[in-house]
Structure 1
Amino acid sequence: MKTTDKIDVREIRRKLGMNQSQFWSKIGVTQSGGSRYESGRNIPRPVQALLRLVHIEQIDISKIRKEDVEVAEYLKSSDPETFKNLKKEARARRKEKNSR
């Protein structure tokens, strides 16, 4: 799979102005592994999720704690609509913060 959610990974990296080493190391993938993904190798779902979080959603994964993940999983499983609303609010706050 060359794309993640119909988005060309190489294009994302280039738009961010990063070389392969910079781009892939942010999600724990080696430069050579990232090169293989950009050349067409299937990208595992966990790597796709990290790509989306780090490079599309602009989330600093170094600041995520285990408790954050547990709360998100609980909300997602117990009330998907509430989880969607919280996600939208967080995205809006992040957008506002980044536009300052």
Structure 2
Amino acid sequence: MKSTDKEVDVREIRRKLGMNQSQFWSKIGVTQSGGSRYESGRNIPRPVQALLKLVHVEQIDPGKVKREELDVIEYLKNANPELLKTLKKEARANKKKA
């Protein structure tokens, strides 16, 4: 994921959220200078991409996720990926209703 990719422009996401670089990147454990490099086109590592999606797109607070929930997600990912997709879709629909 690059900030210049047609799919995702990290800088644009940050701006739409009304956050400065320090606020945006510190939520996922990245320094402001590191975030600036990502916004300038440096490749973003997959773990950072995942955190970006969880925190800034899905609006999930990583501090509130329990270890057991992560274990269940990992199990579903390996054992029944279709069920995991269905559960995610339902969770998004319920979130929009709230």
TM-score, structure 2 normalization: 0.91
Tell me whether 1:52 sits opposite 2:57 in the alignment. Answer: no
Alpha-carbon distance in structure 1 between the residues aligned to 2:56 and 2:22: 14
Superposition deviation, residue 37 in structure 1: 0.5
Does the CA-based 8 Å contact 1:4-1:48 persist in structure 2?
no
Tell me whether 1:30 sits opposite 2:18 in the alignment. Answer: no
Secondary structure of 1:28's aligned partner: coil
Residue aligning to 1:16: 17
Secondary structure of 2:59's aligned partner: coil
Give ranges in structure 2 of 5+ residues lacking alignment. none
Superposition deviation, residue 2 in structure 1: 2.2
Residue aligning to 1:95: 96
Residue aligning to 2:82: 81
Name the % identity: 72
Give ranges in structure 1 of 5+ residues lacking alignment. none
Number of positions where the alignment pairs a residue of Structure 1 with one of Structure 2:
97
**CA offsets 1:34-68 (integer angstroms, 9 cap, x no match):** 01100111100000010011111111111112111
The CA RMSD measured in Å over matched residues stands at 1.4
Alpha-carbon distance in structure 1 between the residues aligned to 2:57 and 2:8: 10
Alpha-carbon distance in structure 2 between the residues aligned to 1:59 and 1:39: 25
Moved over 3 A (4+): none
Residue type of the partner of 1:96?
K
Secondary structure of 1:7's aligned partner: coil
Alpha-carbon distance in structure 2 between the residues aligned to 1:3 and 1:58: 22
Alpha-carbon distance in structure 1 between the residues aligned to 2:53 and 2:15: 15
